[in-house]
Structure 1
Amino acid sequence: MGEGDRRNAGGGASAVLRETRLWLRTPYRHQASALHAGCDCLGLVRGVYRALHGAEPEPVPPYRPDWAETGGRELLLEAFHRWLIPTGTPEPGDILVFRMAPGAVAKHCAIQSGLDRMIHAYWGRACVESVLGRWWRERLVAAFRFPPLVS
């Protein structure tokens, strides 16, 4: 099924979760966003966005693995606020954003896959489904929803 076919294959959270699950086991590759070939956490969100909505809303500039430690700006949150819908109570299908340390810039994202589960690309591993446990919940700083699907 091509991206155009997946875009029209249902709506809302169920479409997001169907697409996100296709990315499971995609190898971790910094800055990549190619289904089964490689992705990082942002690449996963970008790939799901493209499959559901077509072209990405803006180009992503090159970034180093330590981009958040050197810049100080909330680039990930700023971009998500431009193109996604903030939500106060995350639900399956929503994008979760994390700070890996107190006071640090938010730099990791995932897609919630169940009440206590999330799918994310994990450094040194692959795109995996993990428990959204206490450790992650304590680092959660924002949640966003993909825009509504257009038929």
Structure 2
Amino acid sequence: MTHPHTLAMNDAALQEARRWLGTPYRHQASCRGAGTDCLGLVRGIYRALYGQEPETVPPYTPEWAEVSGEETLHDAALRHLEPVPLDHLRAGDVLLFRMMPHSPIKHAGILTGTATGTDTMIHAYSGRAVCETHLGRWWHTRLAAACRWPARIPT
């Protein structure tokens, strides 16, 4: 069972994610209103919830996952967030995607729930501002993992 304080953090994360809507896409950025990428969105929400980022993110290229072949994003998520089974998702959870089968996880978004009867997420991706997108079949087939915001800063 998920702790009620963790669910409150998910609610706060979702509210913060909505504040980022319309922020332009900027590779490696994490500044609400000025620019962000998908990782920057998660980093910005983390800062809003906990006051600071958990670790310094080194510079990365748009092809970082293809070049390294390592699960860098997934490993970092597991260090600072709580893993959640894909069949127990809740609004505010962080969704992690593999853009190609058998490739490292490379994209993140925030589940916004099923208010309209269909799953949606808030995310940033190249060529778009932060937006809320329908989680159709294309996204569902790429969903690889999910995490929940902890009730307090992990130690």
TM-score by length of 1: 0.90
Structure 1 contact 90–96 (Cα < 8 Å) conserved: no
Distance in 1 between residues matched to 2:10 and 2:89, nearest whole Å: 11
Unaligned 5+ runs, structure 1:
1-10
| Aligned counterpart in structure 1 of residue 59 of structure 2, from 36, 51, 62 | 62
Deviations 1:60-94 (A, max 9, x none): 01000000110011000110111100000221100
| Aligned counterpart in structure 2 of residue 26 of structure 1, from 9, 23, 26 | 23
Are 1:124 and 2:94 matched, yes or no?
no
Partner of 1:17: 14
Structure 1 contact 91–114 (Cα < 8 Å) conserved: yes
Structure 2 contact 71–105 (Cα < 8 Å) conserved: yes
Partner of 2:97: 98
| Aligned counterpart in structure 1 of residue 71 of structure 2, from 74, 93, 97 | 74
Percent identity of paired positions between Structure 1 and Structure 2 = 56
Deviations 1:27-75 (A, max 9, x none): 0000000010000000000000000101111100100000011001100
Look up the equivalent residue of 1:146 and give its one-letter code.
W
Partner of 2:4: none
Are 1:145 and 2:144 matched, yes or no?
no
Partner of 2:3: none
Unaligned 5+ runs, structure 2:
1-7
Distance in 1 between residues matched to 2:152 and 2:81, nearest whole Å: 12
| TM superposition outliers: structure 1 runs of 4+ over 3 Å | none
Q: Secondary structure at the match of 2:145?
A: strand
CA RMSD after TM alignment: 1.4
Distance in 2 between residues matched to 1:72 and 1:149, nearest whole Å: 31
Residues 13-22 or 24-33, more deviating? 13-22
Q: Secondary structure at the match of 2:42?
A: helix
Structure 1 contact 31–40 (Cα < 8 Å) conserved: yes
Equivalenced residues, count: 141
Look up the equivalent residue of 1:28 and give its one-letter code.
Y
